Amino acid sequence: MAQKENTVERNGAQTQARAGRPADETAEKPKETTVEFLASLAAVLVTGLFIITFIVQAFEIPSSSMENTLLIGDHVFVNRVQFAPKTNWAGPLLPYRDVHFQDIVVFLHPDPQQAGIYVVKRIIGLPGDRIHLRNGVVYRNGVALNEPYIDHDGERPDDAYRLNFPSVPPSDFDNLSANWMVDLPTYIQGGDLVVPPGHYFAMGDHRAVSLDSRYWGFIPKENIIGRPMFIYWSFETPEDQYTKTSWGDRLMFLGKVVIHFFDETRWKRTLQVVR
């Protein structure tokens, strides 16, 4: 009898094997409990929060100072790691590097009166570089720059300070930082502005409207947040939208986004790499 029972078990095992099932699989897999589901969800949320906080960060472009490279209403992901101070434990694993000439960077505004405001510009001068403009052309260390990304729309020939910086004294003191007004002459040598150690000189691509290092000075290295990687969404946004901070204005714009999401999203800019 025992031999027959063994034979039945072996035959059963052979039948299950032919059916593609393990011989010892006699019950369904247990379902995920509520506690296990919540633990998995928490792990996902913590991982996402870590990435958003320390690796990438989302920013919206509020002004036209970087047109046509970045438009008002472009939403970008910024790499927060690349320009961060190197660490011993993660140094070999992460792509750290110094800020390069013509990098586009997001940084905290260096003017104390604008503290806490995020700005995006293009790096034109590295530490030690000598910068000046003549008739709107930028010269770096005596060499005229080739800048195909510049938007010249709105340039005014009578704006001598903007076009011939720093040799011409400013005429529009409304846009000039009070600290920069005092410090600017101390950095001029032979008609050039000399970038000090640990600082950068930045300008917007839309030179006719950009308020940049010509108006508020150098960017300290520690103010740099990161480099925009790509546009993840772009929506047609009014030029003055960033000045409308009341809840009523924000709700009205949110309603516009909901209604016109499909017809006013700039689909061709989605996933466009920022250069």
Given this model, what pLDDT does residue 88 score? 58
51-269: CATH topology is: Umud Fragment, subunit A (2.10.109)
Any idea which residue has 């570089």 for tokens?
129
- Name which of 122, 121, 212, 214 is nearest 160 in CA terms: 214
Torsion angle in degrees (nearest 10) through CA of 225, 230, 232, 234 = 90
Return the exposure string of 216-225: e unless at least 16 CB atoms fall within 10 Å of the residue's CB, then b. Answer: bbbbebebbb
Could you give the angle at the alpha carbon of 161 between the alpha carbons of 155 and 165, nearest 5°? 105
Q: Where are the domains of the chain?
A: 51-269
Structure tokens at 127: 């530490």
Amino acid at the residue 204: G
What residue ranges of the chain have pLDDT lower than 50?
1-19, 23, 25
CA atoms 244, 247, 251, 252: torsion sign = negative
Residue 251 and residue 16: Cα distance in Å, rounded? 62
Given this model, what pLDDT does residue 160 score? 93
Distance, C-alpha 86 to centroid of its chain? 19
- Name which of 111, 116, 124 is nearest 181 in CA terms: 111
What is the DSSP pairing of strand 74-79 with strand 188-189? unpaired
The torsion angles phi and psi of 233, rounded to 5 degrees, stand at: -165, 145
Residue 222 and residue 43: Cα distance in Å, rounded? 31
> What is the tens place of the pLDDT at every residue in 123-167?
999 999 999 999 999 999 999 999 999 998 988 888 999 999 999
Peptide bond into 148 cis (omega under 30): no
Please give the DSSP secondary-structure letter assigned to residue 171: S
Given this model, what pLDDT does residue 47 score? 56
What is the reported pTM? 0.79
> What is the tens place of the pLDDT at every residue in 210-229?
999 999 999 999 999 999 99
Query: DSSP per residue over 17-79, as a string?
Result: HHTT--TT--SPPPPPPHHHHHHHHHHHHHHHHHIIIIIEEEEE--SSTTTTTS-TTEEEEEE
